[in-house]
Amino acid sequence: MRILVSNDDGVFSPGLHALADAVAGFATEVIVVAPEADRSGASNSLTLDRPLYVRPSVRPHTHFVNGTPTDCVHVAVTGFLDWRPDLVVSGINKGQNLAEDTLYSGTVAAAMEGFLLGIPAIAFSLSAHNFSRLDTATHVVQRVISGVVHAPPSKHYLLNVNIPSVPLGELQGYEVTRLGRRHEAQPVIRTHSPRGEPMYWVGPPGEIRDATPGTDFHAIAQNRVSITPLRVDLGSASEMDSLAQWLQRLP
Ligand code: MN
């Protein structure tokens, strides 16, 4: 098993190093290729307006890229590595990636890029905005990786794993979940620059709308590890019939 590790919090994140260390025992080769800076919220963006560089970090087997999480995995798999990873893992993110967060998440995007390139992939996120429970997360990563090494869940999978930030003894098990739903995002926060020019900070995500049993929100609230199988198809097959009828009525 050869594993590519990336994240969106950047090459200096303790979560990244914890993930690389956690998977090392399962792999003949582990390489880390991560953004040089925090690119949380970068989603699936690619850098097209300048060249990308892959430079070695002070940590062994670790490189950083002047780009996004998607750039990192794309460049690593299609150009930088002279071998093909068997698995792409991303994280461990500082903060959960639940429901619509998955659309904006660079952590999920790095995994998704591997998946789009034909490689099974797993994104790991810790539910708190700190790493005080990185030990719990490391334990979960090792159990999940041990599971996929022993018997993959399917031939080609993209998993979004969220880990409650609690002591290991308080973990209430694992649950396969669907994505919950949020209400629409909070508005941007308008303020002024020191020169009086209006400026805007993107506000918090929307309040939780669907956290019913079976959702990722619900599992995390119950201190269970949430494992959501993701797919990439944004198309809405259920809308096709009504849209076709609408098309026939076009003036
Ligand atoms: Mn992040």
CA of 245 to the centre of ligand 1 (A): 42
- Average pLDDT over every residue of 209-226: 97
Nearest to 123 by CA among 12, 185, 65, 43: 43
Looking at residue 43, its pLDDT comes to 97
pLDDT in tens, 24-62: 999 999 999 999 999 999 999 999 999 999 999 999 999
Provide the whole-model pTM.
0.96
Measure the CA–CA gap between 87 and 26, rounded to whole angstroms: 11
pLDDT band at 63 (very low <50, low <70, confident <90, very high): very high
CA of 134 relative to ligand 1 center, distance in Å: 15
In DSSP terms, 161 is beta-bridged to 124, 227
Q: What is the distance between the alpha carbons of residues 69 and 194, in angstroms, rounded to a whole number?
A: 32
Ligand 1 centroid to Cα of residue 133, in Å, is: 16
- HEC profile of the chain: CEEEEECCCCCCCHHHHHHHHHHHCCCCEEEEEEECCCCCCCCCCCCCCCCCCEEECCCCCEEEECCCHHHHHHHHHHHHCCCCCCEEEEEEEECCCCCCHHHHCHHHHHHHHHHHCCCCEEEEEECCCCCCCHHHHHHHHHHHHHHHHHCCCCCCCEEEEEECCCCHHHCCCEEECECCEECCCCCCEEEECCCCCEEEECCCCCCEEECCCCEHHHHHHCCCEEEEECCCCCCCHHHHHHHHHHHHCCC
C-alpha 233 to ligand 1 mean position (Å): 23
Q: What is the pLDDT of residue 68?
A: 98
Instruction: Give me 157's structure tokens.
Output: 């999978």
Mean pLDDT of all residues in 65-86: 98
Instruction: Indicate the angle between helix axes 14-24 and 134-150, nearest 10 degrees.
Output: 40
Separation of CA 113 and ligand 1 centre (Å): 16
Q: How far is the CA of 150 from the centre of ligand 1 (A)?
A: 29
Compute, in angstroms, the gap from residue 201 CA to the centroid of ligand 1: 17
Nearest to 8 by CA among 81, 112, 82: 112
Q: Could you tell me the distance, in angstroms and rounded to a whole number, from the CA of residue 39 to the centre of ligand 1?
A: 7
Distance 37 CA to ligand 1 centre (A): 10
Alpha carbon of 131 to ligand 1 centroid (Å): 12
The CA 249 to ligand 1 mean position distance, Å, reads: 46
Please give the pLDDT value at position 113: 98
Q: What integer pLDDT is reported at residue 226 of this predicted model?
A: 98
Mean per-residue pLDDT of the chain: 97
